């Protein structure tokens, strides 16, 4: 790719961002379609100054990651209705010198899960109560699913359930539930928690579909146990890919080259 005076610039803002796979994924997508666009990582601590800089420098759009998904909200000119319900954005589009906020995390989760099951009318057990769980929960509601929330900390589960307007159960009772799908929206399964599972393996037969948002490792202990049980599994790469594809399409108005993006992510996922 040749960078010149006509190159349109995109990026990711957060702190830290050096580990992000988004630059690799989006630059591969731009190159595949022959677009004169480039995507770079911007480590940001001063959100207000950074967002003013986007307009001043003519940057066309950015991904927003931890810890700025909520901090950017007061500076936006418009916020997509579902992103407003979630209370967080992960995508900004700069258009007509205005900042427009979206959340594609829920779009990525819905698209990934919908490849394995029909969302409308389904019942999903959602494990977790952080930002990812909240985005996934609102996305499932948008698709017409019923949700039950659980979490290791009951107070947080109750708070998320209240925000979503759905039921919750203590984690100790979740193994006895039956639902069409289980989604792990926690960090259990990665890093120091790589050898742990959110529910015991014996409970997985209660959930025909099991999805994990953890993508490093790609085959978490939860997904391995679910596969052995005979469940249909959805790995974390799918959500990562589809949320990125939704960002690409918001920025370009073009269909994302999914296979190029998928192969780029697979080639650069952290190895065990």
* CA-based end-to-end distance of the chain: 32
> CA–CA separation, 65 vs 243, rounded Å?
12
Task: Identify the segments of the chain with pLDDT beneath 50.
Answer: none
Residues 115 and 219 in one domain: yes
- Crossing angle of helices 258-268 and 22-32, in 10° steps, is 140
Residues 66 and 162 in one domain: no
Residues 134 and 224 in one domain: yes
pLDDT at position 57: 95
Q: Mean pLDDT for the chain? A: 96
How many domains are there within the chain?
Answer: 2
pLDDT at position 272: 65
> Of 69, 85, 134, 146, which one is the catalytic site residue?
69
Residue 122 in any domain: the answer is: yes
pLDDT at position 61: 98
C-beta separation of 242 from 115 below 8 A:
no
> CA–CA separation, 235 vs 158, rounded Å?
27
pLDDT at position 2: 81
Residues 147 and 53 in one domain: no
pLDDT at position 271: 74
Residue 41 in any domain: the answer is: yes
Range of the domain at 80: 8-103+242-268
Q: What is the CATH number of the domain that holds 157?
A: 3.40.50.720
SS3 content of the chain, % helix, strand, coil (to 5): 40, 20, 40
Residues 121 and 225 in one domain: yes
Active site residue 69: yes
Report the candidate in 236, 186, 146 with the shortest Cα–Cα distance to residue 137: 146
Q: What is the DSSP-derived secondary structure letter of residue 177?
A: -
Three-state DSSP at 207 gives coil
pLDDT at position 1: 67
Residues 95 and 114 in one domain: no
């Amino acid at each position: 790719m040749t960078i010149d005076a006509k190159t349109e610039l995109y990026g990711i803002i957060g702190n830290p961002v050096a580990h992000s796979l988004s630059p690799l994924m989006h630059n591969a997508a731009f190159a595949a379609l022959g677009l004169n666009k480039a995507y770079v990582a911007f480590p940001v601590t001063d959100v207000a100054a950074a967002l003013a800089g986007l307009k001043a420098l003519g940057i066309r759009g950015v991904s927003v990651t931890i810890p700025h998904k909520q901090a950017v909200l007061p500076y936006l000119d418009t916020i997509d209705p579902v992103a407003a319900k979630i209370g967080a954005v992960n995508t900004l589009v700069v258009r007509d010198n205005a900042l427009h906020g979206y959340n594609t995390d829920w779009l990525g989760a819905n698209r990934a899960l919908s490849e394995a099951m029909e969302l409308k009318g389904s019942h999903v057990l959602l494990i977790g109560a952080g930002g990812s769980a909240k985005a996934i929960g609102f996305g499932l509601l948008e698709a017409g699913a019923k949700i039950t929330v659980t979490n290791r900390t009951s107070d947080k589960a109750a708070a998320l359930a209240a925000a979503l307007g759905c039921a919750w159960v203590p984690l100790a009772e979740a193994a006895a539930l039956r639902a069409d799908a289980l989604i792990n929206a926690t960090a259990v399964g990665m890093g120091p928690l790589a050898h742990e599972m959110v529910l015991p393996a014996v409970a997985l037969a209660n959930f025909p579909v099991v999805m994990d948002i953890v993508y490093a490792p790609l085959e978490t202990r939860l997904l391995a146990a679910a596969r052995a049980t005979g469940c249909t599994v959805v790995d974390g790469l799918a959500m990562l890919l589809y949320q990125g594809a939704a960002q690409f399409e918001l920025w370009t108005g073009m269909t994302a080259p999914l296979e190029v993006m998928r192969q780029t992510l697979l080639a650069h996922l952290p190895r065990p």
